[in-house]
Amino acid sequence: MMRIAFTMINCNRRDGSARAVNEVAERLARRGHDVHLFARKVDDLDLELIHWHKVPGPDWPEVADFWSYYQAVNRRLRNHDFDIVHSIGPNTLRANVVTIQNIQPAKMRILERHASGEKISPLRRLTRRFYLRATSAAEKKLYTRKPAPVFLPVSRGVEAELRQYYAVGNAQVRIVPNAADTTVFHPLSAPERTAWRNANGFREEDFIAIFSGGEWARKGLDLAVRALGYIRQPEIKLFVAGDDPDLERYQTMAVEAGVGNRVVFGGFRRDIATAMAASDIFLFPSHYEAFSLATLEAAACGLPVIATKINGTEDFIQPRMNGEFITHDPAQIAETLSSLVANRSAVQLMGGNARRLVEQHYTWDHVTSMTEEAYKSFLA
């Protein structure tokens, strides 16, 4: 049995990196380990299995939230004797294992590139800049520390960014990917699929490309909308699951592209697993990710993943087997969608392959075992 401490500011199953903590921490506790969590807030976590050490402090602005948590946890961990201190990103300088969802300087570069396309207040823009600078400083201090922690990047791309921005030398680096809950995200029966479509204004013959997430500028929703404008088949529809402050601009974009009646803005979805499984493909022309959970969850629902070649998708997609790569060119995206709608039987085969790949390599049980092996390697 190991004594394990996780450090994550807010733990829930809504946010990608926080969800990974909940899923893995619970499974480690069920395997007999003594699991502790240092967090500000906890939601949807079995606290009969896990010892929660509440870390009070301000939750806004983000920079104060992070910095006050960081200082408090560094102090608190001095008084505990854990075999493993597992941080999600640079949440504590005392970590000996670090899951890396993204590298802050790399993310900053992408955010700056797309800043003009975001509708956020000057105050929000300013506080985000301070937050990114603070987390980048903490990241550099931890990732270049000697002795180095064990690094667990979630994809090959994140590992490359880690090595690009930090001299980690011969530190242990093991890729431990994100995963999907295959009991929640799974294919639907034909009647269930039809029922969701009817309830949401779609016909059985419609070909639904689903897009999921916020931060639409970074995730390339404009490319998906403009691509639809190149396609004349009226049965191809785009369902957007998620929210963004710039909703009106995207609605206007769809109207101007002549597809206002073919782009459905579905908002935040509590039925996201059903919405995915009732669709035909997952469309994701994102500019930057670490390893999108939505990608794996859509695949678990039996959808081919049609995405740009970025962190995570380049590890998962096998062209013509379980999805296709697209570029940041709306015309090329449109050509790909048109070829898929013309061969729906192939789409179904690719979706089945995508589901099987998740079952084989991207379940939370598998990720927990990989994490456990990383702990044992460190302790050895």
**Contact predicate 202/274, CB 8 Å:** no
* SS3 labels along 158-189: HHHHHHHHCCCCCCCECCCCCCECCCCCCCCC
Task: Name every residue whose Cβ is closer than 8 Å to that of residue 315 and which is 6 or more positions away in sequence.
Answer: 155, 156, 157, 177, 291
Q: Please give the C-alpha separations between residue 49 and each of 11, 37, 224, in angstroms, as whole numbers.
A: 15, 11, 43
Place of tokens 């994809």: 155
Give the CA-trace dihedral at 284, 184, 236, 295, to 10 degrees.
10
Token digits of residue 96:
């000996």
pLDDT score recorded for residue 118: 64
**88: β partners:** 99
Q: pLDDT tens digits, the chain, 380 residues: what are they? A: 999 999 999 998 887 778 889 999 999 999 999 999 999 999 999 999 999 999 999 989 999 999 999 999 999 999 899 999 999 999 999 999 999 999 999 988 887 776 666 667 777 778 888 998 999 999 999 999 999 999 999 999 999 999 999 999 999 999 999 999 999 999 999 999 999 999 999 999 999 999 999 999 999 999 999 999 999 999 999 999 999 999 999 999 999 999 999 999 999 999 999 999 999 999 999 999 999 999 999 999 999 999 999 999 999 999 999 999 999 999 999 999 999 999 999 999 999 999 999 999 999 999 999 999 999 999 99
The rounded distance, in Å, linking the Cα atoms of 315 and 327 is: 16
Q: Residue 360: beta bridge partners?
A: none
Structure tokens at 128: 């985000």
Bond into 147 cis (ω within 30): yes
Q: Where in the chain is the domain with CATH 3.40.50.2000?
A: 3-179+363-379, 190-361
Residues β-bridged to residue 97? 86, 150
Return d(Cα 33, Cα 379) in angstroms, integer.
Answer: 14
pLDDT of residue 122: 79
Q: Which amino acid is at 115?
A: A
| Whole-angstrom distance, CA of residue 163 vs CA of residue 160 | 5
What is the third-level CATH fold of 3-179+363-379? Rossmann fold (3.40.50)
Give pLDDT tens digits for 248-263: 999 999 999 999 999 9
Cβ pair 47, 341 in contact under 8 A: no
- 36, 3 contact by CB (below 8 A): yes
Quote the pLDDT of residue 121.
Answer: 76
Q: Are 274 and 188 in contact (CB under 8 A)?
A: yes
**Residue 117 pLDDT:** 61
What is the spatial distance between Cα 328 and Cα 323, in angstroms, rounded to a whole number? 16
Tens of pLDDT, residues 38-61: 999 999 999 999 999 999 999 899
Residue spans of alpha helices (H) in the chain: 16-30, 62-76, 104-113, 122-143, 156-165, 190-199, 216-219, 221-229, 247-256, 272-277, 293-300, 313-316, 330-341, 344-361, 364-379
Are 45 and 25 contacting, i.e. CB atoms less than 8 angstroms apart? Answer: yes
Pick from 286, 290, 287, 378: which is nearest to 89 by CA?
Answer: 290
- For residues 308 and 150, the answer to whether their CB atoms sit within 8 Å is no
Tokens representing 284? 């994701």
Q: Which of 14, 17, 16 is nearest to 43 (CA)?
A: 14
CATH of 190-361, one of 3.40.50.150, 3.40.50.2000, 3.90.228.20, 3.20.20.80: 3.40.50.2000
